[in-house]
Amino acid sequence: MSSKEARQQLLALSWTKKALTLSYVVFVFPLAFLWKLAKSPVQLRGYPKPWRRKIREILLQAIRDGLDVTQMRFLLKGNTKTAYEAWAKSKDVDPREDVIAHGGRILWVGKGPKDSEEDSKVVLYFHGGGYLLPMQEWSLDYWSTAIKVLEKSKKHVSVAALAYNLSGESTYPVQLNQALAAIEHLLKVGYKPSNIVLAGDSAGANLVFQVLLHLNLLRLRSTSSASDVDVAETGVATFELPADLKLRGALGISPWFPVHSKKAAAKSYQENRGSDIISPEALRDFARIYAAGVPESHKPHFDFTTTPKEWFKGLDGVVDRILITVGEKELLRDDILEVARGKVAEYHPDTTIILQEFGVHDDVFYDAAAGLDPLTTKLTLEILEWLEAVLNQGTLGRWPRLLSLKRDKASHSD
Ligand SMILES: *[C@@H]1O[C@H](CO)[C@@H](O)[C@H](O)[C@H]1NC(C)=O
């Protein structure tokens, strides 16, 4: 069976299942939500999040418990481009998109490169959603808030959100090709590598690390010491990226490191089953669809729990600084920490790892979704502090420390 057929089989949604999905939403969902809400005061003792935020989490948990990923995909009708256009309209800003190689698009938030000066900065953002669900407007709200804060230091900062193909229509390594094409495009329109930061959440953060690993392997292969790294061909396109390309930074928020891993049996899967906003079954299904028909030998290029450690050797030659954030209450916690500490930080001395207290998967995005100011969340302030320092080639800790986050022991910041 071809990988396309395999994916289509996994994604097929019968007429009856569609009808069931809609009746769940109309009849069962409100009751499930209210039931969870009624139980919540008991669970909320000592829970340090605003009630509106908590309601948002309960809402997401009711979706988590009632719908599988094909049903979620069915209900989220739009795509990344339509979400962007709707967002631009609601914010009364002009949408601006660049079509790039391999069928991807860059959707600009902020001024974009048009009025770019010599030293303007860009965050190249990859959204999450298990490679199956499109970008949501809350991501754009988040980044437009971020731009306002980052531009206070009088720099020109834009966010380039990549609209990549989802796994319903395309298969690995299409998204990696599109991400590399986006970097090539940014260089072409005049950004210096030292002014480019990659950022992503969940599957988007997986893509950030696919890019870093790919650039690193290219370099390892071109040096004589690479004989110990045996890398299978993965069909990634060739790009005219400079051989000494070194990006300024990479940010991974709740990175989906264990795609298709059979090792997803970490303690955090049991511990956080109730508290996270995503289920182990959804993670499994996203992975199955993404990896359908992909040869085994390609999997270590995106399932970082199976990537040989040595493939990260020399990672600090590809990117200056790395920040990885992970929620204490998320399923992926232990897998993320294992890869972040044991592989990324092992070969990159400027890796900061933040463990967010009470954080769920992709936690920082739900403030805007709940109508709250993202700047009220400690982790968002930490992320912005890091971005500010990184984009301005500065050192960390220049901002007043509003924050008292549990710093991970493996952290190398400050
Ligand atoms: C991306 O998706 C579009 C629309 O679904 C499709 O036409 C195109 O072939 C896909 N591109 C790649 C590279 O898979």
Q: Which tokens hold the place of 313?
A: 């050797």
Distance 4 CA to ligand 1 centre (A): 12
Which ligand 1 atom sits nearest the alpha carbon of residue 165?
A: 1
- pLDDT greater than 50 at residue 401: no
346: three-class secondary structure by DSSP: helix
Q: Provide the pLDDT for residue 48.
A: 78
Q: Provide the pLDDT for residue 97.
A: 95
Q: Using a 6 Å cutoff on CB, does residue 235 contact ligand 1? A: no
DSSP state of 342: I
pLDDT in tens, 311-357: 999 999 999 999 999 999 999 999 999 999 999 999 999 999 999 99
User: Is 221 or 202 the better-scoring residue by pLDDT?
Assistant: 202
Tell me the fold of 78-391: Rossmann fold (3.40.50)
Distances (CA, A) of 266 to 291, 330, 332: 21, 11, 8
- pLDDT greater than 60 at residue 414: no
Q: Is 202 a catalytic site residue?
A: yes
Q: Using a 6 Å cutoff on CB, does residue 105 contact ligand 1? A: no
Distance 162 CA to ligand 1 centre (A): 14
pTM, to two decimals: 0.91
Distance 181 CA to ligand 1 centre (A): 15
Q: How far apart are CA 268 and CA 286, in angstroms?
A: 19
333: three-class secondary structure by DSSP: helix
Q: How far apart are CA 340 and CA 351, in angstroms?
A: 8
Q: Provide the pLDDT for residue 226.
A: 54
User: Cβ(68)–Cβ(20) under 8 Å?
Assistant: no
Q: Provide the pLDDT for residue 403.
A: 38
Which ligand 1 atom sits nearest the alpha carbon of residue 177?
A: 13
Helix or strand (DSSP H, E) at 354 = strand 351-356
Q: Provide the pLDDT for residue 41.
A: 66
Which ligand 1 atom sits nearest the alpha carbon of residue 174?
A: 13
Q: CA nearest 335: which of 293, 307, 363?
A: 307
pLDDT in tens, 95-153: 999 999 999 999 999 988 865 566 889 999 999 999 999 999 999 999 999 999 998 87
Q: Using a 6 Å cutoff on CB, does residue 171 contact ligand 1? A: no
Residues in the chain: 414
Q: Mean of the pLDDT values across residues 215-239? A: 77
- pLDDT greater than 80 at residue 413: no
- pLDDT greater than 60 at residue 224: no
User: Cβ(106)–Cβ(185) under 8 Å?
Assistant: yes
Which ligand 1 atom sits nearest the alpha carbon of residue 170?
A: 14
Q: Using a 6 Å cutoff on CB, does residue 103 contact ligand 1? A: yes
Active-site residue, selected from the candidate residues 139, 158, 170, 202? 202
pLDDT in tens, 19-40: 888 888 887 878 888 887 777 7
Q: Which of 245-249, 271-275, 410-414 has the weakest average pLDDT?
A: 410-414
pLDDT in tens, 176-199: 999 999 999 999 999 999 999 999
Share of the chain above pLDDT 90, in %: 58
The protein residue whose alpha carbon is closest to atom 5 in ligand 1 is 169
